[in-house]
Amino acid sequence: MSLFESYATDGFYDEMFEPSGLPRPHYRKLYQRLVSMSKEDFRRRCQLADLTLVNQGITFAVYGNDAGVEKPFPFDLIPRIIPSAEWDLIERGLKQRLTALNLFLHDVYHDQKILNDRVIPRDLVVDAVNYRREFIGANPPHGIYVHICGSDLIRNADGQLLVLEDNLRTPSGVSYVLENRIILTRVLPQLFRDLAVRPVEHYSTQLLRNLMDLAPEHCNGEPNVVLLTPGVYNSAYFEHSFLAQQLGIQLVEGRDLFVDENFVYMKTTSGPQRVDVIYRRVDDDFLDPLVFRADSALGVPGLINVYRAGNVSLANSIGTGVADDKVIYAYVPRIIEYYLGEKPILSNVETYLAWQPKDLSYILDNLDKLVVKAANESGGYGMLIGPQATAAERADFANRIKSNPRNYIAQPLISLSRSPALVEDRFEGRHIDLRPYVLYGKDDITIVPGGLTRVALRKGSYVVNSSQGGGSKDTWVLAGETPEALGGEMRQTQRSHTETAPQDAENLPDNGGAH
C-alpha cells in the first residue's frame, strides 16, 4: 500500500500534483521514490528524524500557558521542490523588493522625499509604532538598514506566488533551513540521489562575511562579531545558539555587555574585550533602556549612542520595523516603483487599510470573508480568519478595528497551496508557505536557494506559525531541469491522484483523471 493511497488534492493548488492527479514534472522523480517506499519504512525514518530533533534539543519555547516549555518544531520529511525557473523569479523579485525597502528606510530617516511627494501619507510612517525618531539622520554602515530579511511568500489558487509579508527586524527560522537539510540527507539520502538539489550550507559563511564587512573603522585586524540573544527563555533561543555555533561567533546576552567611553565591551575572565559588530536578535524596544523601553533588562544601556557614533555596528539596524508594518506593506509596490522605476516582480496580496474610511466599511461589511491582521503582531497572534471565526470573535474584532483603524488591515483569505505531508500513516495535503532569507551585503544581495517551507499541520488550517501548530519542510531548489532529470515522461498507467474525496479513490481507473 502506497503512502499516496487515497491522496486527494481537494480542489486546492497542490505543489506536487497537477489537477489531473499526475505529479508535476519537477516532482516526478521524488514521487517515484516516495511511491516505492513502504509505510513502515517511511514511518521508521520519521521516527529517526524526530528522535534526532528531541535528542539535539532542536526546540522552540512556547509562550503563554506553558511559558518556557520547549517543543520540537515538527519536521515533515517530504521535501518541497521549487523548479529553477521559478526560483529565478523569486530571487529577482526579492532582490528588487529589498533594494527598494532599504532605499525607503534610508529616505524616511533622512530627506523623507517619498513623504514630501505624498506617495505615502506622512502620518502612516511617522506615527508607525516602529518608526524610531531617535534614529533620524543616523547613518548605518554602507547605508544598509536591513542585512537579513525574511519575506513570506504564498501561492494562491491560480499558482501565482505572492508576498504575504516582510520581516525586516529579526526574522527567525533559518536554523531550521540548515538543520532540516542535514537531517533529511541523513534519514532519506535516497531522495537526493536522482536530483541536483542546490546546497544551503553556505548561508553561515555568507552571513559571517557580511557581518565582518560591517566592522567600524577603528577595527584593525579581525573584528569581534557577537550574536546578541534575549536569552534561553526566548522562543528562538535554539536558533541563536545554533547560528553562533555555525558562524563561530560569541553568543552574548545584554548582561554580558557594557558601554564604556562610547565603546561596547563584553565581560570576559581576562577582563573587558571590545565588541565591534552585533548581530542582534533583540527587538529595538529592548535594545537600550536609555533610549527605548526603560524597563528592559535584556539590553545594553548606552548601546544606541555607541552605534550612532559609529563605534559598533548592528545588524539589523534600528527602526527597520517601520517598513514591515502591515499598513506600509500595502504601499510596497508603490515604494518599488518610486525608488526603482520598475514594476514589482512579485505581487502583494490585495490589502484593505482600515484607516481609509472606504476600506473600513468594506472590511466591517465583509468580516466573514476576510483575514484581519494587527499592523505589528507576528507569530500568528492578533489575527482573525473571518471565514473560520465565530460571530462573537468577528464582533470582537469589529470593535477593535473601529477603536484603532490605523492598526488593522484586511486581506481576502488566500487559498494557500498545499503539499503532501505525513499525517498518521499516510500523506494528506496541507497548506504551506515559503520564507526565503535574503542577505544584504556591502556588495550585493544574496539568497540561499529555497528557504523555510512552513506547513500548517492541522487539517484545514492556514496558519503555519510554529506557535500555532505549524511544522516545516526541507525546501529544494533544483539546479536545472532537463526532461531527463525530471524523470522523463510519465507512463500513463501510473497511479495518479485526483481531486475526488478519498473514499472514491478506490474505484478510479488506473489512468485516473476523474473529477
What are the residues binding other proteins (CB under 8 A)?
A: 54-57, 231-232, 237, 241-242, 244-245, 250-253, 255-256, 266-271
Return the closest-CA partner of residue 76 out of 477, 483, 501, 431: 431
Which is closer to other proteins, CB of 269 or CB of 390?
269
- Cα dihedral across residues 470, 418, 347, 24: positive or negative: positive
Question: Minimum distance from CB of 60 to other proteins (Å)?
Answer: 13
Return the closest-CA partner of residue 285 out of 277, 276, 273, 294: 294
Kindly provide the residue ranges of all beta strands, DSSP E only, lying in 327-451, ordered along the sequence: 347-348, 352-353, 370-374, 383-385, 408-412, 418-423, 426-435, 437-440, 445-447
Question: Minimum distance from CB of 181 to other proteins (Å)?
Answer: 17
Asked whether 411 and 352 are in contact (CB, 8 A), the reply is yes
Nearest-angstrom CA–CA distance, 13 and 20: 11
Which is closer to other proteins, CB of 154 or CB of 208?
208
Nearest-angstrom CA–CA distance, 423 and 41: 15
Return the closest-CA partner of residue 416 out of 429, 433, 402: 433
27: left (phi over 0), alpha (psi -120 to 50) or beta: alpha
Question: Minimum distance from CB of 257 to other proteins (Å)?
Answer: 10
Which is closer to other proteins, CB of 245 or CB of 262?
245
Question: Minimum distance from CB of 179 to other proteins (Å)?
Answer: 12
Question: b/e string for 65-93 if b means 16 or more Cβ within 10 A?
Answer: eeeeebebbbbbbbbbbbbeebbeebbeb
Nearest-angstrom CA–CA distance, 115 and 109: 11
Cell numbers at residue 328, please? 506600509
Question: Minimum distance from CB of 196 to other proteins (Å)?
Answer: 29
Cell numbers at residue 47, please? 521516527
Question: Minimum distance from CB of 70 to other proteins (Å)?
Answer: 9
Nearest-angstrom CA–CA distance, 515 and 512: 9
Nearest-angstrom CA–CA distance, 250 and 511: 58
Which is closer to other proteins, CB of 266 or CB of 290?
266
- Residue ranges in 188-257 assigned as alpha helix (H): 189-193, 203-212, 237-247
Question: Minimum distance from CB of 269 to other proteins (Å)?
Answer: 5
Which is closer to other proteins, CB of 19 or CB of 231?
231
Question: Minimum distance from CB of 232 to other proteins (Å)?
Answer: 5
Which is closer to other proteins, CB of 31 or CB of 238?
238
Question: Minimum distance from CB of 247 to other proteins (Å)?
Answer: 9
DSSP-assigned letters across all residues of 134-191: GGTT---GGG-S-SEEEEEEEE-TTS-EEEEEEE-SS---HHHHHHHHHHHHHH-HHH
Which is closer to other proteins, CB of 38 or CB of 273?
273
Cell numbers at residue 492, please? 500513463
Question: Minimum distance from CB of 75 to other proteins (Å)?
Answer: 17
Which is closer to other proteins, CB of 251 or CB of 438?
251
Which is closer to other proteins, CB of 246 or CB of 351?
246
Q: Which amino acid is at 219?
A: C
Which is closer to other proteins, CB of 233 or CB of 381?
233
Question: Minimum distance from CB of 243 to other proteins (Å)?
Answer: 9
357-365 and 391-403 helices, crossing angle to 10°: 170
Which is closer to other proteins, CB of 155 or CB of 281?
281
